[in-house]
Amino acid sequence: MSIMITGGTGFLGSYLARHLLLEKGVEDVVLFDRYPDPRKLQGIEDRVSVVEGDVLEPQELLAALDRHRVERVVHLAFGVGGPEPEKIVPYARVQTMGTANVFETARLHGIVRVVNASSLAVYGPHESTSLHEDDPKRPDSLYGACKLWSEHLADVYNDEHGMEIVSLRPCSVFGLGRAWRGSFASGLVHVRDLPHYMALTELAVRGEPITMPPGSQLADWCYAADAAEAWWLAVMAVNPPHRAYNMRAEQRPIGDYTAELRRLLPDARIEVSERPAHVGQLMDNTLIREELGFAPRYTIETGLADYIERIRSAPDVTGR
């Protein structure tokens, strides 16, 4: 089987590529990426096909699909942007037109199954304490709005063209390479953004001081290796009953992550902020467990241990 991953050398793409090759026996893994990052492919670089290409260029997508006889696609590519007005349009273009190009070129190539990376952000602020897939969607961010749009577009392709596009809505996933560009890379971490706190692990391993959020806050957790398994299950699912699935592993207080980080790194300089982090809504994961068979293997403790081991074996890997 040949599987192409857009954004394939990014954070989740590299975990998924490794998972497909080493655990699932997929022989042909194609990583389509605008800015290929070979650092995240250590140990598998000779076993993957890396294609430098842009999802905004449909001919580049079609060429990759044809050259590698791709049978299924995982769409993880996304735009890097922020709230600055000059970044909104370029960011939205990648999120919307890029996604449209992926779906359309897959259709033209005769591919039925595409797994689309959606997000918890599609729900927006919510009164529910455990979001279900059919709860109302009220995204309050450009990112969430674009992800919800991608789900609606997937519905069109499924209904009008007989495709089987499945969307996953992951919580914040932690693992090697989660450190974001921009403010994180320069050490200017936004206190309210939990994903940055997950990425702070890489700073702590390097001996730099970090500040974690208050320990009592409950959050959804998923280690990247488990996320890769969820994507695999969505790729291979036969007639999945739903088109979108929440994806998380555990629901645990942030303090559990901090405590384990301190245990594994006893010399780390870790402080705890009094200001709460924005952890997002909590999600129910019943559907992905019952319908796709998702059974997370990693806890905060085992995931963090593996994460730190990977940081130490690949110290030059930073995030994208």
Name all domains of the chain by residue range, CATH numbers in brackets: 2-173+221-248+280-296 (3.40.50.720)
pLDDT of residue 202: 86
Retrieve residue 285's tokens: 């994961």
Q: Is the dihedral of CA 244, 247, 252, 253 positive or negative?
A: negative
pLDDT of residue 213: 82
| C-beta of residue 69 within 8 angstroms of C-beta of residue 24 | no
Retrieve residue 279's tokens: 């952890």
CA distance 194 to 279: 6
Retrieve residue 204's tokens: 């702590």
CA geometry: angle 169, 68, 10, nearest 5 deg = 40
CA distance 116 to 308: 29
The alpha carbon of residue 257 and the mean position of all alpha carbons in its chain are separated, in whole angstroms, by 19
Number of C-beta neighbours around residue 206 at 10 A: 11
pLDDT of residue 188: 30
Cβ neighbourhood burial of 105 (10 Å; 0-12, 13-18, 19+): buried
Supply φ then ψ for residue 314, to 5 degrees: -140, 65
| C-beta of residue 262 within 8 angstroms of C-beta of residue 199 | no
pLDDT of residue 295: 98
Alpha-carbon distances, residue 199 vs 79, 169, 196, 225, 242 (angstroms) = 19, 20, 5, 15, 32
Retrieve residue 239's tokens: 């007639």
Cβ neighbourhood burial of 125 (10 Å; 0-12, 13-18, 19+): exposed
Alpha helix ranges (H) inside the chain: 11-22, 58-67, 85-93, 99-108, 142-161, 194-205, 224-236, 254-264, 286-292, 300-313
Closest CA to 92 of 79, 82, 75: 79
Between strands 113-117 and 72-75, the pairing is parallel
CA distance 51 to 34: 8
Alpha-carbon distances, residue 229 vs 47, 188, 204 (angstroms) = 19, 32, 27
Reading the chain (320 residues) residue by residue, the pLDDT tens digits are 999 999 999 999 999 999 999 999 999 999 999 999 888 898 999 999 999 999 999 999 999 999 999 999 999 998 765 557 777 888 889 999 999 999 999 999 999 999 999 999 999 988 778 999 999 999 988 989 999 999 999 999 999 999 999 999 999 899 987 654 433 333 333 333 445 666 788 889 988 899 888 888 889 999 999 999 999 999 999 999 999 999 999 999 999 999 999 999 999 999 988 877 777 789 999 999 999 999 999 999 999 999 999 988 876 655 54
